[in-house]
Structure 1
């Protein structure tokens, strides 16, 4: 399945692209789906921001995204980077004291807010101290109405954005009136983009993988991710309770079960379990390969006394082909994960000691014995590669059987 998003450029007065408004779509027809605004915003962020980042869609320019009442009141925008996103408050959102408090809070956290399709109603005046952009539909109001409103808000340092600009004459008049940004068919229509889409459960799994790669685990956050997926919670508890690292007595709390394992082993466990479930139970040779590589690299690192927290060699092997499983460019995938620099360098350039271990793993897989012997001598201290690899294969098979 694929996720669809339309992006419409927003231009500066000199006709250079300033940013993009992102619009959720449910197919290639480039039309808004028959769903409510909350669902549209949630799907847009889940399918595009959480997977690859809106920055990759907007060429690192600001992304203007519509937020409805519920998504604002539940502080959903705080899950995204304030440096890359402009929060557009839809004209249908009630101007309540609760919303005002949210806007004040978001503004204090560095988020930039925009009033979308602004209707000039005085009820919004109290929001203006927290607003950066005012978007005005220039087909909805005549020049006199717009001029009167601009005089009324002249004391606020607002960026004026003209929507639905369709003619060169409109563009010139609006520039003279003080508009800074412009959007409309005169410049460009929304452009359709599509990318591989993850289900919400797979997005949760990737979130777990991300957390497992951090130096310090946030157990509360891990528990929160699991709570969004009952099936995942059950599998994690079952695995942890059956693990040699878990306490011998029955464990009633997922958080306590995780703590009992110890962070290094828990990180390996979370990453491999999440990856093992990305294929939705369908056997995938790429998945098996990722697990074998993870265990093989980890065992080699143990022989070299390189065990660490996070388990760098394990994660290097595990992430060596995850980008193929989720069908995303490797560099884009790695940009979204807080992996150590050494791991990223090993994956992208096969550099450093981790890179050498990965090279040895790949050479052994291919049966390139001349290269294998050369790398083994460079690393030194590695013994009985065939036995180690068979151990890794048995381990991976066991993991896939349990998951």
Structure 2
């Protein structure tokens, strides 16, 4: 049985990734199989998946929040994973009884952290609260007044609070001011300011780099003129290309050497990556990482469909898919500043086409919308297992390249 995994970041108050929640599904039906219980499904998925061997690859060593159902808790199933690697997430529909309470006590005594998901302030949870380290509150389920009134009592307890379903920057600010410790949702993908914000000259220079990387033929003289304005960018590019995973045997000493050795297509991608990494300096690191994963996934999908373009438009489509969030401007305005193909502009603007479908597919994977994954895989005539394999490959690549791009 194949296992599919999606992850969603949980941020701290400084918008740094604190942990990931991992979401699992059965690859045969894209849901928990109907012929077995959710507990049995969870057990199979965890034991058959690569979690026990490759959890760090998925979370980069950060804690993994994992949902557990009634029987998996009663049978102490979380204890086959290292306690420092996971947070045991108790779901809101658990039957609170003496057996469950005993299981929570023992799991807690074994060094595991417990999180209570979708906490609804029901009195039935009072007996479990002494063993809970983290409470997650779905902020979309309550009014701001209700959250304001109920949060102080929780803050008086020795627990951490997670605001879930934080979809806008305003929601993030509201929960931040109330003292929430962590935040989960897609707030980081939304522009903090949407209109009428001018771009500083430094960012315009970076957009010029993306312009160069999107042209059919690399204008080396023009490229040099941009890098001459910023020695730091040149240094970062050379450090980036010299990364051992990307270049195992040759030390690159100049841009011309890099171009000769690696070829125009790879250099164009690195230039675009470098520009995007610097554009995202004041944004959550997870935003850049998501762009990198999308870029690699769309490139792999494009290759699987034998669509070889110069430059690979799939890669650029994924890389630039969150440019509006990075630059706090509408995508419709930004795409017109870039001399990119009409097909790429259409995809980034949300107009139908193959590239747009690649982006929709990767968004469905990110959000564990398994039926949409199935639908888009069929639309693109891709084997569904291959889609998940490509996404996992892209995730590992994006994690590594993000670390390389942060090198100073």
* TM-score where L is the length of structure 2: 0.48
Q: Quick one: higher RCO (CA 8 Å, sep 6+), 1 or 2?
A: 2
Larger radius of gyration: 1
* TM-score where L is the length of structure 1: 0.48
